[in-house]
Amino acid sequence: MVFLNGRFLPLEDATVPVLDRGFIFGDAIYEFIPVYARRPFRLEEHFTRLERSLDAVRIRNPYTRDQWRAHLGELIARQEYAHQGLYLQVTRGVAKRDHAFPAPDVSPTVFMMANPLVNPPAALVEQGVAAVTAEDFRWLRCDIKTTSLIANCLLRQHAADAGATETILLRDGVLTEASASNVFLVRAGTVLAPHKSNFILPGITYDVVMELAHGAALPVEVRDISEAELRAAEEIWLTSSSKEVLAVCTLDGVPVGSGRPGPVFRRMHGLYQDFKRALMAPTTVSA
C-alpha cells in the first residue's frame, strides 16, 4: 500500500497526470526516512529538512507536522515488515507546461511509499567497499533535497561501471560528498568532515555520526578537505540513511590505509549500532 494525495491504495493503482511538474520538470523535493521496528528514525529532523527544502524551492507544504505524522504512521502500520525505508515526495502539482510557477492555488502532489529497509550486510561491513572519484559537476544548490537527480544518477553510474559502490566527488580540488552519501575521513586518529554548505546535502546520518563522535570523545575537525588529504586518508567512510556507516577500502583502485576497515570505523560502526538498538528497544510505561 502507498499514499497518494490523501488516499491509501495499491501501488499499481497509484497514478499522476503527465502534466504534474514533478514529471515534466523534476519540480519536487523528497525525503527518505529509515524506520526501525516501526519507529521512524529522527523524524523531527527529517521534517525540518523537508520544510527547508520546500521553502527553498517555494513549494507549499501541504500538511502540518501532526498531519504528516498521522499519514506516515498509518503507512508504516499498513506494511507487513517492521524495518522500512520510507520515501516521500512533494511536487509543485499539476499545471500547464510553463517554466514559471503556476498559480498559488495549484495543489501539491504528495506520494509516499515504504519498502523493506536494506542495510549493508555484515560481510560488506567487514570487508569494506570500493569507491571511485569524479569531478562534482552538479548544480550549486546540492543542499536542497530535490528530485532533480540526473547528475547524481550519472555519477552513481560512473561507480557502477567501475564495479564500485560509490563515486566520491571533488569540486575544484576540495571534497564535497558522494553521489548518494556523505563522506568522512580519518587522518592521524582524527575524524575529518567537510563543513556543511550549498555543495553538500545536510545528512541526518552525518549529524548522528558527529554526535556519536563527540560523545565518544573522538577528535573531530570540520573543514575543507583537499583531494590530497582524501587520497592520503587512513580511513574513508560513507554515511547515509540506508548505508548507515560504511568503510571505503579502495579508492580508484588504490587501498585506503591497510585496505581493510580501520579501528576508528569499527568503533563508530559499533556506536551507531548501539544507538540504533536503543531506538528499537521496547518502551515502558510507568504506572
Residues annotated catalytic, as ranges:
145
Measure the CA–CA gap between 56 and 3, rounded to whole angstroms.
Answer: 24
Q: Which residues contact 104 (CB under 8 A, 6 or more apart)?
A: 60
Nearest to 36 by CA among 117, 120, 121, 124: 117
Which single residue is written with the C-alpha cell 576540495? 174
Dihedral sign for Cα 246, 249, 252, 253, please.
negative
Which string of b and e fits 9-31 if b means at least 16 CB within 10 Å? eeeeebeeeeebbbbbeebbbbb
With CA atoms as reference, report the closest residue to 245 among 198, 215, 212, 219.
212
The angle subtended at Cα 182 by Cα 265 and Cα 238, nearest 5°, is 35
Q: Which of 210, 230, 228, 229 is nearest to 220 (CA)?
A: 210
How many C-beta atoms surround the C-beta of residue 2 within 10 A?
Answer: 18
SS3 (DSSP) at 259:
coil
Q: What is the DSSP string of 16-27?
A: --TTBHHHHT--
